[in-house]
Amino acid sequence: MNPTRPKILVVDDTPANLVAMRRLLARADAELFEASSGNEALALCLDHQFALVLLDVNMPEMDGFEVAQLISEADHLRETPIIFVTAAYADDINRLKGYTSGAVDYIAKPINDAILQSKVKIFLELYRARALLQQALDELSLRNRQLTTEMAERIRMEELVRHQATHDALTGLPNRVLFRERLEAAIASDDPSFALAYIDIDGFKGVNDTEGHAAGDELLKAIAGRIDTRTRDSDTVARLGGDEFAVLLHGTPDGPTALSRCQVLCDAVGEPYTLDVGGQSLRVNVGASIGVTLYKTGADYDDVVIAADVAMYVAKRSGKNRCVLG
């Protein structure tokens, strides 16, 4: 893509000089603008980005030095190159004043066509090079933003896939995969003071068979919410499948503590439920048989899980809706 065609501003209060400059710059590959006063020049500078300003020094009201000074003080204009066109080029004082005001070069009057064309060509080439560089930088910046967005989206998708692979779709709780990771991490920790509780919901099958799967799903979500809100942030509540849950209870050093914490869960699950099923209110009651085991040094994943599972079946055979330490 070609950069925008460069623009040249010629500022001179003498119409004949403007006509002459127009003729001399006819071969320059640039769009030409003209101003007959300093105020007019400043107004044009506000509306256009000029590759070069050819500025007459001697003008009434506002001379070239003042115009150059104002241009150089504006943040968005200070990079605009200014060439003074003056008959006082040989005057060192005026030349120094011009450079101080912001000029980059001088062209003496009467204007030499070859000198003008050569200097204008240099500044137009510089403008085009800067425009191409800026275009490349803008494209690079855009691509960097795109890559940042793409990377963020990829990370988001990877996290989503990871979450879906490790969490139960219905309740949002960790599933068996993440539960195993957490339990193995607890076993491998320096201070494995924890208990594992296995929970089986008493009466769930009856609700599911009588009221339908939609009611069963709503009940499972409600049960998951109750268990989750009655455990610590450091604990892990998982749905293992069907109506079976597991809870990794950290900071549980002894049997009475484990049974006390499990009783809180048992009582919570046993409270009545009011479910919204297809816009209809449904009231149901279920219970929980909970088996809990303390981690013993040297036990592995299977040892802990089997102990909790056996204790849970003991609770069911003992009359259900109770907690048993295994």
Q: Which of 80, 128, 81, 125 minimizes the C-alpha distance to 106?
A: 81
Omega within 30 of 0 (cis) for the link into 192: no
Q: Which of 12, 243, 267, 300 is catalytic?
A: 243
Highest-pLDDT range among 36-40, 79-83, 190-194: 36-40
Shared-domain flag, residues 103 and 223: no
Q: Is residue 237 part of a domain?
A: yes
Predicted confidence at residue 134, as pLDDT, reads: 83
- Residue 243's domain is classified under what CATH number? 3.30.70.270
Last residue of a domain, one of 110, 136, 162: 136
Sign of CA dihedral 265, 309, 208, 202: negative
Q: Is residue 25 part of a domain?
A: yes
Shared-domain flag, residues 126 and 222: no
Predicted confidence at residue 70, as pLDDT, reads: 85
* Confidence check: pLDDT of 91 > 70: no
* Confidence check: pLDDT of 2 > 50: no
Q: Is residue 161 part of a domain?
A: no
Predicted confidence at residue 72, as pLDDT, reads: 79
Where does the pLDDT of residue 191 fall: very low under 50, low under 70, confident under 90, or very high at 90 and above? confident
> pLDDT tens-digit profile of 152-179?
999 999 999 999 999 999 999 999 999 9
Predicted confidence at residue 98, as pLDDT, reads: 54
The total number of structural domains that make up the chain: 2
Predicted confidence at residue 1, as pLDDT, reads: 40
Mean pLDDT rounded to a whole number for the chain: 89
Shared-domain flag, residues 268 and 201: yes
- Residue 130's domain is classified under what CATH number? 3.40.50.2300
Q: Is residue 78 part of a domain?
A: yes
- Element containing residue 11 per DSSP (H, E): strand 7-11
Q: Is 243 a catalytic residue?
A: yes
Last residue of a domain, one of 86, 106, 136: 136
Rounded Cα distance, 249 and 195, in Å? 5
Sign of CA dihedral 79, 84, 89, 95: negative
> pLDDT tens-digit profile of 265-296?
999 999 999 999 988 999 999 999 999 999 99
Q: Is residue 155 part of a domain?
A: no
Q: Which position has the token pair 């912001």? A: 102
Lowest mean pLDDT among 45-59, 66-80, 95-109, 219-233: 95-109
Where does the pLDDT of residue 97 fall: very low under 50, low under 70, confident under 90, or very high at 90 and above? low
Percent of the chain with pLDDT over 70: 94
- Average pLDDT rounded to a whole number, residues 295-317: 95
Shared-domain flag, residues 201 and 321: yes
Shared-domain flag, residues 69 and 120: yes
Q: Is residue 253 part of a domain?
A: yes
> pLDDT tens-digit profile of 48-82?
889 899 988 888 888 888 888 888 777 777 778 88
Shared-domain flag, residues 181 and 120: no
Q: Is residue 1 part of a domain?
A: no
- Give the SS3 label for residue 89: coil
Shared-domain flag, residues 128 and 180: no
Last residue of a domain, one of 73, 106, 136: 136
Shared-domain flag, residues 192 and 114: no
Report in angstroms the alpha-carbon separations of 258 from 174, 199, 227, 251, 280: 21, 13, 15, 9, 38
> pLDDT tens-digit profile of 75-89?
777 778 888 888 765
Q: Is residue 156 part of a domain?
A: no
Domain span at 52: 7-136
The residue that leads in pLDDT, 190 or 22, is 22
Highest-pLDDT range among 18-22, 47-51, 116-120, 310-314: 310-314
Shared-domain flag, residues 216 and 131: no
Task: Enter the tokens of residue 151.
Answer: 């990377």
13 Cβ neighbours under 8 A, 6+ residues apart? 36, 37, 56, 59, 60
Shared-domain flag, residues 131 and 193: no
Predicted confidence at residue 226, as pLDDT, reads: 96
Predicted confidence at residue 92, as pLDDT, reads: 53
Shared-domain flag, residues 307 and 190: yes
Shared-domain flag, residues 180 and 307: yes
315 Cβ neighbours under 8 A, 6+ residues apart? 289, 290, 291, 322, 323, 324
Q: pTM higher than 0.75, yes or no?
A: no
